[in-house]
Amino acid sequence: MRKALRTGVFAKIALAATLLTTAPAFPASAPSAEDPAAPMRRLTPEQYANIIEEVFGNSIELGGRFEPDMRVEHLNEVGAGKVSVSSSGMAQYNAMARTVAEQVTGPDNRHLMIPCKPANAKAPDDACAKQFLARTGRLLFRRPMTEREVDLYVRAANAAATSTGDFYTGLSLSLSSVLSSPQFLFRQATIEPDPDNKGDARLDSFAKATRLSFFLWNSMPDEELLVAAEKGELRSRRGLERQVARMIASPRLEKGVRAFFADMFQLDDLGSLAKDSTIFPKYDAVVAKNAREQTLRTIVDLVVDQRGDYRDLFRTRKTYLTQALASLYQVKLINDIPNGSPDMWQEFTFAPNDPRTGLLTHLSFVALHSHPGRTSATLRGKALREIVMCQKVPAPPDAVDFAVVQDTSNPVHRTARDRLTAHQANPVCAGCHKLTDPMGLALENFDGSGAFRTTENGVDIDTTGQLDNVKFGNAAELGQAVYNHPATTSCLVNRLAAYGLGRPVVLSDREWVGALTKDFVAKGHVVPSLMQAIATNPTFFQAEQRPPIAGAREAGN
């Protein structure tokens, strides 16, 4: 009976929330969601989890699944502005919202998370509900709630508490509506008239704070940033630079850097990567998860902790390993940590004569860009061109015969190099394969699971190749060639700018991106300095979302 009652109450709350979130909750001058001047980006799963942890603590379990992301221009963060929420996805968001809200208002957590106690726990208390919902909504919506919003959510809590005879049940159902609201699930770039330029618009202060926090921290603004937005401090260059400098110096920068590089290098795809367990018995879900983390720890150490040269990622021998990764990499990892477990991460440096040098030899790269049962020099070379250097590799033409490449048992074509050379006899294929295969073949010492090998089918593997007329003999020399190539630098700047803007870099951005690249080089290719330069530039806060210009190419190509 009580469960049925709660279900009926929730239906009423859901209706109230729908009316709330579909009615204009912003000032009348704010554009609609369909207006291209107000792009909306759906929260990524990681952003959602970060916010819940920062608002309610790390003991809260989400208990649900997320809608799939969509990669646009090689970035999920750009695709976040193109996706919506399906009906089944909304059901999942509602389920997660209820799960979170029940934990927050439950007897184990309410004394920590709710700043007041009701006069009677078995009846509504509008004053206490308002205090909690207004404070929490300010954080979840990344701006103060309007009076209308607060009133509707408080009335919803009142109705539910009256029906159930429980203040906390009413508060839980109202909070779950907040967590199901588009105001929480989407980041909207709300605008306002620009007083300095008649007829133009600008991001409002809270939209600026939100754009900053998700770019630098991959999460919501903290209290200090919200207060700065309320006071208008982000409108002055001095106030903006002060906040950006504070955020760059914060430990939370690590989350922002991890999120960007996980997106740029497509590391989340490891979670769905399948391998033939008969051919690669050491590769499993644990190894895949560790491979992602290994690469991110390596990046954070060099880019954030050391403030090192970004390009050194492609030639560094320093990394972090677990026993599972060490076994696959065929190196000895001494676990000298007291009571250490096999999953414990340890700093590790590959020996000078070890073939593993830089991210291109990490399992996360060579396994991800391979087939389930074999390597692929073409996929690896294509990934290097498109992900690391921002260079487009044309898709294969229709009706291409891949039989020669796929036949690994052919006694004539015993190695990948042999098979690809035969495949390139087709002039239709040769042009594209010249862009990819010479680099990918340098990584043939690493099989489809990332394990090292020196032969294929009993034949020594030839790892020589070239990158745009720069010749190399092995993976380490390929890493050095990538380090030296100017597209490696310009691509990073392009990707980071697009990631922050939530849209592709377009032709009219060329001058800005060129200045960013020049400054990035002059300052030693230090990523946090580049992030600071982006976050303090007016272009980063432009109100309008301009569509890509037909035929425009990314800078650096």
For 288, what's the count of Cα atoms within 13 Å in the CB-facing half-sphere? Answer: 19
Q: Supply the DSSP symbol for 86.
A: -
**Residue 64: band (very low, low, confident or very high) from pLDDT cuts 50, 70, 90:** confident
Q: Is pLDDT above 60 for 403? A: no
Residue whose token pair is 């989400």: 62
Q: How much of the chain, in percent, has pLDDT values that exceed 90? A: 71
Q: Is pLDDT above 60 for 431? A: no
Q: What is the 3-state secondary structure (H, E, C) of 262-320?
A: HHHCCHHHHHHCCCCCCCCCCCCHHHHHHHHHHHHHHHHHHHHHCCCCHHHHHCCCEEE
**Residue 2: band (very low, low, confident or very high) from pLDDT cuts 50, 70, 90:** very low
Buried b (16+ CB within 10 A) or exposed e, 230-253: eeebbeeeeebeebbeebbeeebb
Cα distance between residue 152 and residue 286, in whole Å: 46
**Residue 199: band (very low, low, confident or very high) from pLDDT cuts 50, 70, 90:** confident
Buried b (16+ CB within 10 A) or exposed e, 506-543: beebeebbeebbeebeeeebbbbbbbbbbbbbebbbbb
Mean pLDDT of 268-283: 93
Q: Is pLDDT above 60 for 19? A: no
Region of poorest pLDDT, from 163-172, 188-197, 527-536: 188-197
**Residue 32: band (very low, low, confident or very high) from pLDDT cuts 50, 70, 90:** very low
| Per-residue pLDDT tens over the stretch 435-465 | 888 899 999 999 999 999 999 888 999 999 9
**Residue 15: band (very low, low, confident or very high) from pLDDT cuts 50, 70, 90:** very low
Q: What is the pLDDT of residue 424?
A: 59
> How much is the mean pLDDT over the chain?
86
| Per-residue pLDDT tens over the stretch 336-376 | 666 656 568 999 999 999 999 999 999 999 999 999 998 99
Q: What is the pLDDT of residue 422?
A: 53
